């Protein structure tokens, strides 16, 4: 499969994933283009042992985080809240930006594959069947992995709430 075919097959999925992370179509367009540019430059390093979508999603996710980091440095500390206001509802229990930020911090410490499956399901809005395919596993595996990750997030948030209540 040539790169042009890869681009046409997966651009929309990657774009939707980044849009779910950013909440902004313009940012998603820019980051997706940059991610595909990076993928093109490093296509020779793709060994084919995994699904190319997983590889593209990883590049896109890392490109988005780099974009956010650069944006944070340009904006300065006065507007940090704007960076994390992505419009993405992680769960119905989130009521403010502070909780969303705490969850994002926790997600960065979460082990794989839980972190990636959680990101793909919540931010990428992918069905369990596609997530399973990305990992070469079944939809049941993806469902169980997602629910275990979700349980970790809930337990962490409950622990944080208990700490707040004790203060």
For residue 125, give the nearest of 35, 12, 7 by alpha carbon.
12
**pLDDT for 77:** 41
| 82 shares its domain with 118 | no
The domain boundary residue, chosen from 34, 66, 86: 86
Say yes or no: 76 and 48 in one domain: yes
Pick from 93, 66, 65, 68: nearest CA to 82: 68
The average confidence (pLDDT) of the chain is 76
Last residue of a domain, one of 37, 62, 86: 86
94 and 49 fall within a common domain: no
Same domain, yes or no: 77 and 117: no
Q: How far apart are CA 53 and CA 42, in angstroms?
A: 14
- The residue range of the domain holding 110 is 89-167
Task: Name which of 99, 80, 79, 81 is nearest 89 in CA terms.
Answer: 99
Q: Give the pLDDT confidence of 110-144 residue by residue, as tens digits.
A: 888 888 888 888 777 788 888 888 889 898 898 89
User: Does one domain contain both 104 and 75?
Assistant: no
Q: Is the dihedral of CA 94, 106, 145, 31 positive or negative?
A: positive
What mean pLDDT comes out for the span 47-54?
A: 75
Where residue 41 sits, what CATH number does that domain have?
1.10.1740.10
> What is the domain count for the chain?
2
């Amino acid at each position: 499969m040539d790169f042009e075919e890869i681009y046409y097959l997966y651009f929309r999925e990657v774009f939707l994933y980044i849009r779910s992370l950013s909440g902004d179509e313009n940012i998603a367009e820019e980051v997706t283009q940059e991610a595909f540019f990076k993928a093109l430059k490093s296509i020779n390093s793709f060994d084919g042992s995994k699904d190319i979508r997983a590889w593209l999603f990883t590049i896109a996710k890392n490109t988005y985080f780099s974009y956010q980091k650069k944006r944070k440095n340009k904006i300065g500390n006065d507007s940090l809240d704007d960076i994390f206001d992505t419009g993405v509802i992680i769960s119905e229990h989130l009521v403010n930006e502070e909780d969303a930020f705490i969850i994002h911090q926790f997600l960065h410490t979460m082990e794989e594959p839980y972190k990636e499956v959680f990101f793909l399901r919540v931010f990428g809005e992918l069905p369990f069947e596609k997530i399973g395919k990305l990992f070469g596993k079944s939809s049941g595996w993806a469902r169980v992995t997602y629910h275990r990750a979700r349980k970790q997030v809930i337990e962490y948030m409950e622990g944080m709430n208990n700490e707040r209540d004790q203060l």
